[in-house]
Amino acid sequence: MPSLPPNQQPTQRLRQAVKGTAAPPQLQVKIRQQLDQVRERKAAGVWMRPWVPVAALLVIGVASGVVYRSGHRVAPVDSQEVEAAALLSNVSQTMRPGLDDHLHCSVYGGNPVPDRMPAWAEAAQDLPPQFRELLAAVQRHMPEQFRIYSAHECLRSGRKFVHLQLKTDTQLLSVVVTRRGVNESFVRDKIIPSLAGAGTSIYQAKALRFQLAALETRDYLAYVVSDLSEQQNLNLMAALGPEIRQALRKLES
């Protein structure tokens, strides 16, 4: 092997000596810590520039707008959606629309309780006129401790609902009406009615604290969903049921 030039021999010997010497573990740790500190200072320096936070907020805002308009979720699934999916899995296919609308519109605040409770006429100003008879039935039979704060038509997953929202100081209650889907039927779901008589069969379900009582007509499904007791919720639908059915049949004729 040819000898190294004189001016390179000391450097080569130094490299060989370093390679043959094991560095203390604590030195490796200290070097890594120092490198991490340098990276953190550099990153902080970038964020301290005045235009960076503004640009980041603009990017986030635009991205959020695109996600909302397109209807596609790119962020992790919301905890409310996870909870709703779990609750809906506990009831039959035909029970799900009423519970779904109650959860998203009332419980999760899609149409929140106003700061000032409105009068009946004000609360129902957005209710389609053909459902005024339904509102009158609720006024006659609803327990006096409940007050209505909204009666409106809403849209959930492309489906229209007529939704009457009521509350006490501690409880929420919904009367929900929607058109029946092709495959939606409590009879098809093989649910035994809890009450049957005078041409009105009432079906029940429960998902944790939420009680559901429902009926079906030729074209519609109607629900009472609340956190009342099972018997209270059933009794309320039993009182409302005949008038709800009568009002819906008029719409079907």
From the number of C-beta atoms within 10 Å of its C-beta (0-12, 13-18, 19+), residue 249 rates as middle
CATH code 1.10.1840.10 for 79-252: no
pLDDT tens digits along 32-91: 445 545 554 554 454 345 544 444 434 334 444 434 333 444 445 689 999 999 999 999
Nearest C-alpha neighbor of 237 from the set 206, 205, 203: 203
Which residue shows structure tokens 């005949």? 242
Instruction: Report the alpha-carbon distance of residue 140 to residue 222 in Å, rounded.
Output: 17
Half-sphere exposure of 81 (CA within 13 A, CB side): 6
Task: State the DSSP code for 116.
Answer: S
Cβ burial 4-32 (10 Å sphere, 16+ → b, else e): eeeeeeeeeeeeeeeeeeeeeeeeeeeee
Least confident span in 34-43, 111-120, 221-230: 34-43
pTM for this model (two decimals)? 0.69
Helices H / strands E in the chain, number of each: 8, 7
Q: What Å distances lie between residue 245 and 23, 115, 118, 155, CA to CA? A: 85, 33, 27, 22
Q: Does 109 or 21 have the greater pLDDT score?
A: 109
pLDDT tens digits along 154-172: 999 899 999 999 999 999 9
Is 164 in a helix, a strand, or coil? Answer: strand
Supply the mean pLDDT for the chain.
Answer: 80
Each domain of the chain, given as residue ranges in start order, spans 17-68, 79-252
